[in-house]
Amino acid sequence: MSAALAAVPVVVRPKAAGGCSDAPVLKERGQREVFCGLTGIIWLHRKIQDAFFLIVGSRTCAHLMQSAAGVMIFAEPRFGTAIIDERDLAGMSDANDELDRVVAQLLSRRPDIKLLFLVGSCPSEVIKLDLSRAAERLGRSYSPNVRVLNYSGSGIETTFTQGEDACLAALVPGLPATNVKSLMVVGALADVVEDQFRRLFAAIGIADVQFLPPRRSTLLPVVGPNTHYLLAQPFLADTARALEGRGATRLEAPFPLGVEGTTAWFEAAAREWNIPDAKFQAAIAPAATRASAALSRIRHQLAGKRIFFFPDSQLEIPLARFLSRELEMNLVEVGTPFLHRQHLATELEMLPAGTMLSEGQHVENQLDRCRAAQPDIVVCGLGLANPLEAEGMTTKWAIELVFTPIQGYEQAADLAELFARPLVRRAKLAA
């Protein structure tokens, strides 16, 4: 436990000897039940307010996005699909001409767009449409008013949160260079969370904090050899690599979920900035104390309950750490699409020793394990939730955890509630 954490009344278990740092991981390679990386657009287009995401794909991609982002019909949408028709499959020039035409139409109608992402999909990858060349070509035409970038959200070999990783990694080469010591928070966070974090960093004594992605494309963070970055999301391997390619250094920390994770996350920056411990503790104590009190009111609903994670969002390991250590839940299996050992080193250390970890997916085998274990609650993708509910299990959609503000002190109890609510509802139905 960190020194700073000792000052706040959070109930945590002592680190299990060794945690799960060297624990064996069941590697599964079979059928997977996950959304594709296009889904990341749903939260990214709300975050970067002057960006537009143009999916270069098929009607299937358009339907997925329309149904997944159905809530966005209230606003002028900031994503769309350039449909590659079947006729385009025969001739590449058709597809490029069509793309240029759609982009010209879009940009003349929407002068508010300052950053245009061409988002690759399975169809554009199948016909090998070179979107990086298309982005360069279009970028030259529309510069300096509109910057055009590209990334892939294709469902081939990706999971849904990797869309964000690919998008942020595409932004990194264009970040302005600096030699000044700076802190960057990396990963899309709800604006309310970003504001809370900014205030807490200021109270700790780190005033100039930058966020990637920024709220506007004109506010890109600067990067260089004295940039230290904190990952706010665990699924940003490519972005991290790109930032390190620009000289930045990652601050080792667990993710800011729960009181313990949030404290250790801020503490990693405070240590790098040589903030005196007393100042750090004074800055975080009010929020940490409030969050601990809020968690203690929910704990009895979750303590002792058994939870099973199907691999979906890559948030599984930090969530499992929070639920087991701060809410006393028992982990039956923690599945993750990918296990990035380096970025999750602290998280793995903090998991209870002996936790069953799995990476990748063989959905039938995993369903068998889940049915045999009969957990109290299952975290899974949308496709599995209904069949499991029909079998009498209580489920939580993994995607909801990505859409909901769950990071930081003020959100710790909301995060716990997301797991408590379905259990309480099930208990009421059974009563």
> Cβ(260)–Cβ(408) under 8 Å?
no
**Nearest-approach distance from CB 30 to ligand SF4, in angstroms:** 17
Which of 67, 108 has the CB closer to ligand SF4?
67
Cα–Cα dist 299/419, whole Å? 11
Residues 20, 36, 186, 334: which binds ligand SF4 (CB under 6 A)?
36
Query: What's the chain's length in residues?
Result: 431
Going by the DSSP 8-state scheme, the letter that residue 29 receives in this structure is E
Query: Of 6-14, 57-65, 159-167, 335-343, which part binds ligand SF4 (CB under 6 A)?
Result: 57-65
Residue 154 within binding range of ligand SF4, rule CB under 6 A? yes
Residue 121 within binding range of ligand SF4, rule CB under 6 A? yes
Which of 58, 196 has the CB closer to ligand SF4?
58
Phi, psi for 37 (deg, rounded to 5): -70, -10
**Nearest-approach distance from CB 211 to ligand SF4, in angstroms:** 27
**Nearest-approach distance from CB 86 to ligand SF4, in angstroms:** 14
Which of 58, 162 has the CB closer to ligand SF4?
58
Residues 155, 221, 234, 254: which binds ligand SF4 (CB under 6 A)?
155
Helix (H) or strand (E) holding 80: strand 79-83
Residue nearest to ligand SF4 (CB): 155
Cα–Cα dist 337/350, whole Å? 20
**Nearest-approach distance from CB 146 to ligand SF4, in angstroms:** 24
Which of 142, 338 has the CB closer to ligand SF4?
338
**Nearest-approach distance from CB 40 to ligand SF4, in angstroms:** 11
Q: Which of 123, 135, 132, 147 is nearest to 38 (CA)?
A: 123
Residue 49 within binding range of ligand SF4, rule CB under 6 A? no
**Nearest-approach distance from CB 110 to ligand SF4, in angstroms:** 23
**Nearest-approach distance from CB 61 to ligand SF4, in angstroms:** 3
- Angle subtended by helix axes 277-302 and 191-204, to nearest 10: 140
**Nearest-approach distance from CB 121 to ligand SF4, in angstroms:** 4
Contact partners, residue 372, CB within 8 Å, separation at least 6 = none
Which of 36, 243 has the CB closer to ligand SF4?
36
Which of 61, 200 has the CB closer to ligand SF4?
61
Q: What radius of gyration, in Å, describes the C-alpha atoms of the chain?
A: 22
**Nearest-approach distance from CB 49 to ligand SF4, in angstroms:** 24
CB neighbourhood size of 89 (10 A)? 14
**Nearest-approach distance from CB 60 to ligand SF4, in angstroms:** 5
Cα–chain-centroid distance for residue 58? 25
Residue 60 within binding range of ligand SF4, rule CB under 6 A? yes
Residue 167 within binding range of ligand SF4, rule CB under 6 A? no
**Contacting ligand SF4 within 170-229 (CB under 6 A):** none
Residue 64 within binding range of ligand SF4, rule CB under 6 A? yes
Residue 381 within binding range of ligand SF4, rule CB under 6 A? no
Tell me the DSSP string of 242-304.
HHHHTT-EEPP---S-HHHHHHHHHHHHHHHTT--HHHHHHHHHHHHHHHHHHHHHHHHHHTT
Rounded (10°) CA dihedral 103, 109, 111, 113: -50
Determine the straight-line distance between the first and last CA of the chain, rounded to whole angstroms.
40
With CB under 6 A as the rule, give the number of residues binding ligand SF4: 12
Which of 153, 256 has the CB closer to ligand SF4?
153
Exposure letters 234-266 (e unless 16+ CB within 10 A, then b)? bbbbbbbebbeebebebbebbbbbbbbbbbbbb
Residue 57 within binding range of ligand SF4, rule CB under 6 A? yes
Residue 5 within binding range of ligand SF4, rule CB under 6 A? no
Side-chain-facing half-sphere of 100: CA atoms under 13 Å: 14
> Cβ(18)–Cβ(353) under 8 Å?
yes
Which of 58, 324 has the CB closer to ligand SF4?
58
Residue 61 within binding range of ligand SF4, rule CB under 6 A? yes
Residue 38 within binding range of ligand SF4, rule CB under 6 A? yes
Residue 384 within binding range of ligand SF4, rule CB under 6 A? no
> Cβ(419)–Cβ(306) under 8 Å?
no
Binding residues for ligand SF4, per CB under 6 A? 36, 38, 57-58, 60-61, 64, 121-122, 153-155
